[in-house]
Chains A and B, each alone.
Chain A
Amino acid sequence: MDNIITIENLIFEYNKGDESHPVRAIDNLNLQVERGSFTAIIGKNGSGKSTLAKNLNGLLLPTEGVIHVDGYDTRDDDNIWNIRQTAGMVFQNPDNQLVSAIVEDDVAFGPENLGIDPAEIRRRVDKALKDVNMGQFKKKAPHLLSGGQKQRIAIAGVVAMKPKCIIFDEPTAMLDPKGRAEIMSIIDELHAEGITVILITHFMDEAVRADRVIIMHEGRILLDGTPQKVFEQEELIRSVNLDVPLMVEMGAKLRKAGIDIPQSIITEEEMVEYICQYE
């Protein structure tokens, strides 16, 4: 199996003022992410999921353990720019990650940092903006756009750097339902184009789109597997105060009421299809 990210025995500790009592955010974590896959990482606030994301492109460095991104060790200073170009990152707040007061200049920011030829930057910027359906806004000022549109610009800014992997750190947390749906469909498209996607979220319904779901709890991996496998463990998920996707909850209730719904059903379409054929 070809892994783009391998994490071995990762420990990450924050020093919150007191050096003798560091806070352990990630506790001995091992993880491999397959090239071209779509992984969703779920967890409550403080479960270590955002810390993990920032470890994946060298924004934070491991206290102990090793992370390899596309073969590069994140602890090696010489690799850091290769790593950040390989693993792009989209953050939660759409306002605080745009640099320029003109949309296309902002998208060009990443490629400019990489020292790419101006004509090639122009091509990439136009392509990236088209990919996120924001072509007609390229001369606009970001503060005049909606949250969803700003987040699409942020994604275009990462796409223009041609990363192999994009880490989305709760990209929809501050958006309205419409903006959320737009961002999710763009993430699906990017995955279809072959980019490895790591989506950090606390929305269960976003996680069911992934090939693989990881549930984090107190800095460790609690569950790891296909969405079907993971959401079968409804009791365990609830025991760490997380919700399950709506369709999983509905399936469980229907089973209790004596209607035989398979546990593998986790999306609305599957549920609708199953119920329509139910006899």
Chain B
Amino acid sequence: MIRDITIGQFFPGDSVIHRLDPRVKIIATLLFIIELFIVDNFLGFAIAALCLGVVINVSKVPLGYIVRGLKPIIIILLFTFTLNMFMIDGHVIWKWGFLELTEEGLRTAVFMAVRLILLIIGSSMLTLCTRPLSLTDGIERLLSPFKKIGVPAHEIAMMMTIALRFIPTLLEETDKIMKAQQARGADFETGNLIHRAKSLIPILVPLFVSAFRIAQDLAMAMEARCYRGGENRTRMNEMKLKKRDYTALVLLTMFLAVIITESKLF
């Protein structure tokens, strides 16, 4: 059913990784991404992959589940791989017509592919192990120092919270509209692509109308409950760094140091 679609790709669990403070996890992910760009040899990737492997193992998220997340980017992966393989000049090892496979090209292609794969898996670990709502809380907290320079931290977080709340409601609404139209003979399943795209218009129009109605109702309800933006607002769940969070931060710093040293040495 349409309402069974999961939001994000959170993998429910109770591991240490799941319980870490979302802020720590966001920073860790950002650092991991930066490190992948510092690394300039395969040994560095090996270290990064090893650390990622440890994190995955501790998180108890099945590897198959993570690998399946790579599916949507396979085409991009193949595309960049082929481009890199043939477009870089150097020592030619294989030639067919105008296509020249060079040693350097092959090396770069593999290098870039590994970097991309690590990048995707690394960042998907964040969403797999963090509830969407704690993620928005974490983002709000991390962005709040930038409020002074005009970053609307609270507003961004509130928008994400409301989006998460209303995705299922709007899916239900879509389902209702589709059924109502199917009952009156609408056909969403046959015909070519253009035909099917066109048949979506009668769904989208009422969906937008009802989204606006919901927005109006919700805005009134929020006002009635004294909502007046992020100022002077407190939060029920305060975020406090616990011992495990500090441990994670120390490990993270060590990992960063290792990667930087490694890239300097080799």
Q: Report A's interface with B, CB cutoff 8 A.
A: 54, 57, 59, 81, 84-85, 88-89, 91, 93, 95-102, 104-105, 108-118, 121-122, 125, 141-143, 154, 157-158, 161
Residues on B with beta carbons closer than 8 Å to the beta carbon of A111: 234, 236
Q: Determine the residue in chain B with the shortest Cβ distance to A108.
A: B236
Please give me the residue from chain B that is nearest to A93 by CB atom.
Answer: B217
State in angstroms the CA–CA spacing of A15 and B213 once bound together. Answer: 19
- B52 at the A interface (CB under 8 A): no
Q: Are B220 and A59 in contact (CB under 8 A)?
A: yes
A112, B235: Cβ atoms under 8 Å? Answer: yes
Interface contacts (Cβ under 8 Å), in number, total: 96
Evaluate contact between A101 and B165: CB separation under 8 angstroms. yes
Taking each of A113, A115, A116, which has the highest tally of chain B beta carbons within 10 Å of its own beta carbon? A113
- We find that the number of chain B residues with CB closer than 8 angstroms to chain A is 30
Closest to A95 in B: B169
Q: A97-B217, A161-B225 are in contact. List 17 more A-B contacts (CB 8 A).
A: A59-B224, A81-B228, A84-B223, A88-B225, A99-B161, A101-B133, A101-B161, A105-B133, A105-B236, A109-B225, A109-B227, A111-B236, A112-B234, A115-B234, A116-B234, A125-B236, A143-B3
Contact B132 A101 (CB under 8 A): yes
- Among A57, A96, A110, contact of B217 (Cβ-Cβ < 8 Å): A96
Who on chain A is nearest to B225 by CB? A110
| In the complex, B247 has a CB within 8 A of chain A | no
Shortest Cβ distance from A84 into B: residue: B226
B237 with A118: CB separation less than 8 A: yes
Q: Does any Cβ of A come within 8 Å of B75's Cβ?
A: no
A100 touches B218 (CB 8 A): no
Set A88, A114, A125: member contacting B224, Cβ < 8 A: A88
At the interface, yes or no: B222 with Cβ under 8 Å from chain A?
yes
Residue of A59, A97, A115, A116 with most partner-chain B CB within 10 A: A97
Can you identify 15 A-B contacts, CB atoms within 8 angstroms? A88-B224, A88-B225, A89-B221, A96-B221, A99-B162, A99-B218, A101-B133, A109-B222, A112-B234, A112-B235, A115-B233, A117-B234, A118-B237, A121-B234, A143-B168
Tell me whether B224 and A115 are in contact (CB under 8 A).
Answer: no
CB <8 Å contact, B236 and A121: yes
| Distance between Cα atoms of A45 and B220 in the complex (Å) | 20
- Please report the C-alpha to C-alpha distance between residue A124 and residue B119 in the assembled complex, in whole angstroms: 43
B202 to chain A, nearest CB (A): 23
B232 CB within 8 Å of chain A: yes
Q: B43 contacts the other chain (Cβ, under 8 Å)? A: no
A142 and B165 CA atoms in complex are apart in Å by 8
Instruction: Kindly report which residue of chain B lies nearest to residue A144, judged by CB atoms.
Output: B168
* Complex CA–CA separation, A89 to B238 (angstroms): 27
CA distance A157 to B213 in the complex (A): 22
B164 within 8 A of A: yes
A-contacting residues of B (Cβ < 8 Å)? 3, 132-133, 161-162, 164-165, 168-169, 172, 213-214, 217-218, 220-228, 232-238
Known contacts: A84-B223, A118-B234, A118-B238. The answer to whether A91 contacts B228 by CB under 8 A is no
Residues of B within 8 A of A93 (CB): 217
Q: Which residues of B contact A97 (CB under 8 A)?
A: 217-218, 221
Cα A161 to Cα B222 with chains together (Å): 13
Q: Which of B214, B218, B223, B234 has the most CB of A within 10 A?
A: B234
Cα-based distance from A97 to B235 in the complex (angstroms): 19
The CA-CA distance from A115 to B233 in the complex, in Å, is 5
Distance A85 CA – B133 CA, assembled complex (angstroms): 26
On chain B, the residues within 8 Å of A105 by CB distance are 133, 236-237
Which residue on chain B has the smallest CB distance to residue A87?
B224
**A residues near B172, Cβ cutoff 8 Å:** 143
Distance A115 CA – B226 CA, assembled complex (angstroms): 10
In the complex, how many angstroms separate the beta carbon of A85 from the nearest chain B beta carbon?
6
Q: Is the CB of B226 within 8 A of A113?
A: yes
A100 touching B234, Cβ below 8 Å: no
For A125, the closest partner residue in chain B by CB is: B236
Chain B residue, CB-CB nearest to A106: B165
- A161→B226 CA distance, assembly (Å): 9
Task: Please name the 6 residue pairs, one residue from A and one from B, whose CB atoms are nearest each other, closest first.
Answer: A97-B221, A96-B217, A143-B168, A108-B236, A110-B225, A113-B226
